[in-house]
Chain A
Amino acid sequence: MTGTALAPRPAAAPAKSRTPLGRHRLADPAVGVWLAAAAVTALGWIVVDARGGDFLTLTNVVGILQNSVALGLVAVGQTAVILTGSLDLSVAYLISLGTLVAATTMEDGSVVTGVLAVLALSAAVGLANGLIVTGLKVNAFIATLGTAFILRGWIEDNYTGPAGKVPASFQHLGYDRMGPVPVSLFLLLAVTVALWVITRRTRFGHHLYATGGDEHAARLSGVRTRRTVIAAHVLCSLCVGAAALFLASRLGAGAPWAGTEARYDLESIAAVVLGGTVLAGGRGGVVGTLGGVLVLAVLDSVFNQLGVDPFFKNVVRGVVIIAAVALYARRGARRSA
């Protein structure tokens, strides 16, 4: 799958014949972030081991993977919108509302209606976001922030706390493991693969990158940029819906703060850029994003093991995010020079 990371770059093409393939691979953010994830794991293992702990235990690895699922689903969706040069700040409240809708619908109806209700809700919110951004020409930052406020009011007006109950059959998604691997991880992988196929192997994906790269040029060459942006927003919200379903199954109920306490809005954007996707759009991909999510999860686990002060964690996260993006910018500059 890492082969996809070799997204061709016009500027890099001539350089390719001169530089060895290996170096080129290393310079790619998507490869880099996976290497970084491996490095952080190794470092964490050494540090924790030195302190008499045991880092690479089964429980721990399972925990890391499990903790990546929710953020991973959101971040993969966020990648799609960021690739078009847009972004989505409404994801956190959509998750909260999604868990509530899932749990309350499943309580009265069946699991299937619950899943459908959440996906329908997500698609509607994504569509609204896309239409506001393209139709009303409101900047995505403000548009999705506005949607977030609207969802927040909706949640606070309708739910006064955790609500609904998820049937035991649906909780398998959140708790079951296949051997050591959590089932939910397969959900994340399935969604990632689906997104990867969509972004890299379809005409729509082609348009996605084109719109994010240079909207004007894309439009001139016949890409329906508006439609593309709207579809990207719908796609993102559907991924968020999947995250909400996963969280509902894990929490067993809907929680109004499921999405906001974890700051999925900013965290997902951080994971996306950590994975090498350019915030302005047009470059990057879901594979890198998954690596970014993994780096954050491994860091978290290392801090857990070392008993690091939770406030200090934020400092490190901030530094890591800035440093990573600075590194990508430097590499990108060297290549295009």
Chain B
Amino acid sequence: MSTGTATDAPQKRAPAPATATYRTIARVLGTGAPVYALLIVLLVALAATDPGFYEPDRFLAFVKRAAPLVILAAGQYLVIVCGEFDLSVGAIVTAGVVAAAEVYGTYPDAPWALMTAGLLLAGAAAGLLNGLITTVLRVPSFITTLGMMLILEGAVFYWTGGSPQGRLPEDFRRLGRDTALGWLPWAVLACVVAGVLVVLLMRSDFGRTLVATGDSERAARLAGVRVRRVRVLAFVLSGVAAALAAVLVGGFSGVSAQAGRGYEFEAITAVVLGGVALGGGRGSVVAAMAGAFSLQALFTFLNLQGVSGALESTVQGVIVIAAVGLGAADFSRLRRRAHPPGPPTAAPPAPATPSRTHREGHPHDPQP
């Protein structure tokens, strides 16, 4: 709903020092404040339940397990922040794993690097298709990616006759399963690299135009942003992220016909937990990735607690609703008090972002 936007008065050009400090904190944490709190609570709870949790190899194993979801959340963030959805990522993961196994079935000696690159390229192609259908044909992305999900799952299983015919060789699986230097899981490394890249991306011009596009497409277009191109690129990057997740998941656990099941909802949940508004224009990518870690920490916590498998999903549902509800409430209060200018992402707003133009011109743009 339209929290915060209605009261979003024109910026104060020279804020008082006290509010400035407050604003800095608010800006650094962005809308993600609740997720960091949740993550800390969960990590403390994990330590309390299981004292060995912070032994280096155990903790790294936890991060390794979280890596695919974190990468998916980063990709999903790019799409959500520009005002779209990507429901096809779970299907891309499944299709990626199954297709890799199928190709290995025919060419057992295919080099792993080539295969990985091929998957990333295929993920980019699926994302490109999503983006083009959404922007050029103007199909809502919810429908585009829902259709893509049906098409990808149907196509890959039609191709393989229902189950993959090959297996994933050890060298391909190394990225998801093995460690570098004997202690650092490759997956953790991939996750860190992807995280750094996406943070840099969001600090670049592209990142700002992405947020501006999600904030108000019209204003962004008026400010000279090539809205279509920006959105298509976001979908492409989400597709690549999903393909990378497929490499990690396939490496971690091998061939499975349901490798990506449910990942689309988990990724979107993670992003929203991170305080990113569905509908776009608000939220930081770091918080989105923190959302993914929180979700994984929650799963691990429930597992270690020995919560009856059946009740797990109830707890998950309650926590997600509560966290997002809390975030929404906090956020509106924060904004009313502090009026932080521009989109509260980790990136400081540039002096003349299109977003600012918009905020002055269209204070009542409805938020979904």
Q: Do chains A and B touch in the complex (CB under 8 A)?
A: yes
List the interface of chain B (C-beta within 8 A of A): 1-3, 6, 133, 137-140, 142-144, 146-151, 153-155, 157-158, 162, 265, 268-269, 272, 277-279, 308-318, 320-321, 324-325, 328-329, 332, 364, 366, 368
Q: Are A215 and B154 in contact (CB under 8 A)?
A: no
Once the chains bind, are A137 and B329 in contact (CB under 8 Å)?
yes
Residues in A with CB closer than 8 Å to B147 are 317-319, 321-322
List A98-151 residues whose CB lies under 8 Å from chain B.
Answer: 132, 134, 136-139, 141-143, 145-151
Partner of B137, one of A216, A312, A326: A326
CB closest chain-A residue, reference B136: A326
A309 interface contact, C-beta 8 A: yes
Complex-state Cα separation, A318 to B142, whole angstroms: 12
Having A150-B313, A319-B147, one finds 19 other A-B pairs with CB under 8 Å, namely: A137-B1, A138-B324, A139-B277, A139-B278, A141-B268, A145-B317, A146-B317, A149-B313, A152-B313, A153-B312, A279-B142, A280-B140, A311-B154, A313-B154, A314-B154, A315-B151, A317-B154, A322-B147, A326-B137
Residue in B139, B151, B279, B328 whose CB lies within 8 Å of A329: B139
Q: Which residue numbers of A lie inside 8 Å of B, CB to CB?
A: 85, 132, 134, 136-139, 141-143, 145-154, 156-157, 214-216, 266, 269-270, 273, 278-280, 309, 311-319, 321-322, 325-326, 329-330, 333
CB-based contact B324/A311 at 8 Å: no
In the complex, A49→B154 CA distance in Å? 26
Chain B residues whose C-beta falls within 8 Å of the C-beta of A325 in the assembled complex = 139-140, 143
- What is the count of residue pairs linking A and B with beta-carbon distances less than 8 angstroms? 157
Q: List 23 A-B contacts (CB under 8 A).
A: A139-B272, A139-B278, A141-B278, A142-B269, A142-B320, A145-B320, A146-B317, A147-B317, A150-B314, A151-B317, A157-B314, A216-B2, A269-B142, A270-B143, A273-B140, A311-B153, A314-B150, A321-B143, A321-B147, A325-B140, A326-B137, A330-B138, A333-B138
- Given A137-B1, A138-B325, A215-B366 in contact, is the A329-B313 Cβ separation under 8 Å? no
**With A137-B325, A141-B278, A319-B147 as given contacts, are A311 and B317 in contact (CB-CB < 8 Å)?**
no
The reply to whether A322 and B133 form a contact with Cβ atoms under 8 Å apart is yes
Kindly report which residue of chain A lies nearest to residue B141, judged by CB atoms: A279
By a CB distance below 8 angstroms, the chain A residues around B158 are 309, 311-312, 315
Q: Least Cβ distance of B55 to chain A in Å?
A: 31
* A156:B310 contact, CB within 8 angstroms: yes
